[in-house]
Amino acid sequence: MKNPHITQNIAFFFLFLATLLIVVPVGFIVFVIIQKGLPAIDWQFLSDIPRHGMRAGGIFPAIVGTVYLVTGTIIFALPIGLLAAIYLSEYSKENLLMRLIKLAIVNLAGVPSVVYGLFGLALFVIFFKFGASILSGSLTLGIMILPIIITTSREALESVPYSFREVSLSLGASKWQTIRNIVLPNAVPGILTGTILGLGRAAGETAPILFTVAAFYLPQLPSSIFDQAMALPYHLYVISTQVPNVDEKIRYGTAFVLLALVLIMNLVAIIIRYKFRKRKKW
């Protein structure tokens, strides 16, 4: 007979070990970036343009570029993703075609980002003649995060109890009134979670913006959505591999800013989500 106490301890040990294996490296990465990057952060680093072949000065154009790109991505991806999710979860009939479409959307989230980059180059840059521009980059990143937003929004919509819909319909509300007044407000936290995930991914990806928007070096800020822009992930790649003799401090400082930017954006979404969760009343 096995001693249940011993098996329990063994199970606990492995569960704890697995958690430790995740927490330690992540914590270490964050620690190193903060330790090496924080000393680089000062007002000049955040507000100046890169100087001396990017070996000095600041990263302001890259910060602005990333903020523009993420904003453009959300403006494009959130409404379309949400509307598609509403259609798929509330209106589409359950048949083979719809199941295939849903499966395809879930799988699209796993497509390598460089493939999205090539797609964006072919469609937006060349075919629609947007050129390498913030518009092309935002649309490419938007398409990349659409599957994430659609999938999480669908789950959020479907997690609203079915009985609420029945009650609303039984009172003579139309289907759209039911979705608008009952389903959507209660799905907001889940939808925001998807948006957070998408935001983080859009801010951090390099490959999709490589061909569609990112500039190696631009001394001035973009003035319209048809301009190229610098972006933090690509800038990090450039100063780490393409430009020799860049001070380690600047590289880790750039990584730190990128991390902080994603964190701040996530924090805003988390606060909004928390506000909505508190309103949740069942």
Partner 1 sequence: MVNPVRNKKLEETSGRNNQETISNGVKFEIHDLNIWFGPAQVIKHVNMEIRSNEILSVIGPANSGKTTFLRALNRLNELNTNYRITGAIELEREDIRGIKVEELRRKIGMVFALPLPLPLSIFDNVAYGIRMHGERGKKKLEEKVEETLRQAYLWEEVKDRLSESAFKLSGGQQQRLCIARTLAVRPEVVLFDEPCSGLDPISTAKVEDAMVKFKEKFTIVLVTNNVKQAARVGDKTAFFLNGELVELDKTDRIFTAPQDKRTDGYVRGKFG
Nearer to partner 1 (CB atom), residue 181 or residue 242? 181
Nearest approach, Cβ of 165 to partner 1 (angstroms)? 8
Helices H / strands E in the chain, number of each: 12, 2
Minimum separation from the CB atom of position 192 to partner 1 (A): 17
HSE-CB at 90 with a 13 A cutoff on CA atoms is 25
Tokens representing 251? Answer: 């590289």
CB of 161 to partner 1, least distance (A): 9
Q: 3 vs 163, which CB is nearer to partner 1?
A: 163
Task: Find the shortest distance in angstroms from Cβ 275 to partner 1.
Answer: 15
| Residue 146 Cβ vs partner 1, minimum distance, rounded to whole Å | 27
Specify the residue, 99 or 280, whose C-beta has the smaller distance to partner 1: 280
Residue type at 67? V
Enumerate binding residues for partner 1 (CB under 8 A). 93-94, 163-174, 177, 181-182, 186, 280-282
d(Cα 21, Cα 15) in Å, to the nearest integer? Answer: 10
133 vs 178 by CB, closer to partner 1: 178
H/E stretch holding 57 reads strand 56-57
Structural contact between residues 210 and 81, judged by C-beta atoms closer than 8 angstroms: no
The nearer residue to partner 1, 17 or 171, going by C-beta atoms, is 171
Q: Residue 42 in contact with residue 231, Cβ under 8 Å?
A: no
Q: What residues have CB less than 8 Å from 202, skipping those under 6 apart?
A: 69, 70, 73, 74, 77, 141, 142, 144, 145
For 50, the enclosing helix (H) or strand (E) is strand 50-51
Tell me whether residue 92 or residue 240 sits nearer to partner 1 (CB atom): 92
- The nearest distance, CB 158 to partner 1, in angstroms, is 14
* CA gap 26, 200 in Å, rounded: 16
Residue 127 identity (one-letter amino acid): F
